[in-house]
Structure 1
Amino acid sequence: MGRPFYENHGGRKVYQCKSCQVYLTNQKEMVSPHFRGATGAAYLFTNVANIKHGEMQQRNMMTGKHYVRDVHCKACDSKLGWMYEFAVDEEQQYKEGKVILEKNLINEVHTQSYQMPSPPDSLSSESMSAVSSITIT
């Protein structure tokens, strides 16, 4: 297996996996902070990076019947919440394709300007060979 690739979209307030601190999303992607999960408070986000999805399941939730997939951290496999695939109730369909992250399973990090981590020394510009241009006729 090759080296894993993790996305990082930055932001002044970012959310990370509580277990391994990998980036998940930022404040701009939050739709609502007023949700409940199995561990308490939860947030609804439009886009979340570095997650993997479980099998689709039908669940009867406080707002009705939904088809959801559990979401886990891509780096450490910790459960983080779930993704809404389909909502039976028309009023709940705004949730479709969005992700719930449970507050107790993530960290909120406030920064002045989020800095991307530097690449490891093994990937420094001195160690990478130059690429020459190729002309195809």
Structure 2
Amino acid sequence: MPSRSKADSSQSRSDAPPHVLESYPDQPIYSCLKCCATIALQDELISKAFSGRDGPGFLIHIATNVRLGKKEDRALMTGVHSVADVYCLGCNERIGWFYHKAADVSQKYKEGKYLLEKERLVKENMWTLDGDESW
């Protein structure tokens, strides 16, 4: 399991702690499509069955190299949630949102998690075929 540490709290404008990934040895990751900054380990994926603003989204436990925008109440498909947009630290691209609070008790499982938009990420497998190191 990679080690994680908290980044400087000045990078975030909300009460959710930003995370910085120190190492990710040979693990599949999700990176920012625009600048290739590491955003999340595949192991942090909870579900691919979510919708973002621009299409499919992933529910993720922990994201790294991100900053949060201003917290606001937003009417989403599953009800009103207190969320903050999530921006890549590398290029400042909006890549999803962070769930602070859910009004409906059935949606509480989303609190403290990230919705990352599939169209703004690239998955990097970080593997090679046996005997073929040229890839």
TM-score, structure 2 as length reference: 0.76
Aligned to 1:49: 64
* Counterpart Cα distance in 2 of 1:56 and 1:36: 19
Q: Against the structure 1 CA distance between its residues 42 and 8, is the aligned structure 2 distance closer, same or farther, given a 3 Å change threshold?
A: farther
TM-score, structure 1 as length reference: 0.75
SS in 2 for 1:48: coil
Shift of 1:7: 2.8
Write out the 4+ residue segments of structure 1 that deviate beyond 3 Å after TM superposition. Answer: none
Q: Residue type matched to 1:7 in 2? A: L
Query: Aligned match of 1:74 in 86, 89, 96?
Result: 89
Aligned to 1:7: 21
Tell me how large the CA RMSD over aligned residues is. Answer: 1.4
Give runs of aligned pairs for residues 1-137 of structure 1, distance below 5 A: 7-10=21-24, 11-112=26-127
For structure 2, the residue ranges without an aligned partner over 5 or more in a row are 1-19, 129-135
* Counterpart Cα distance in 2 of 1:13 and 1:92: 28
Q: How many residues align?
A: 108
For structure 1, the residue ranges without an aligned partner over 5 or more in a row are 1-5, 114-137
Q: Residue type matched to 2:56 in 1? A: A
Shift of 1:9: 4.1
Q: Residue type matched to 1:32 in 2? A: S
* Counterpart Cα distance in 2 of 1:39 and 1:109: 21
Larger radius of gyration between Structure 1 and Structure 2: 1
* Counterpart Cα distance in 1 of 2:22 and 2:64: 7
Per-residue Cα deviation, 1:3-49 (whole angstroms, up to 9, x for no partner): xxx63442532100111001011111011110001110100000000
* Counterpart Cα distance in 2 of 1:42 and 1:8: 25
SS in 1 for 2:82: strand
Per-residue Cα deviation, 1:59-105 (whole angstroms, up to 9, x for no partner): 11111110000000011100000000000000100000100110001
Q: Which moved more, 1:41-50 or 1:9-18?
A: 9-18
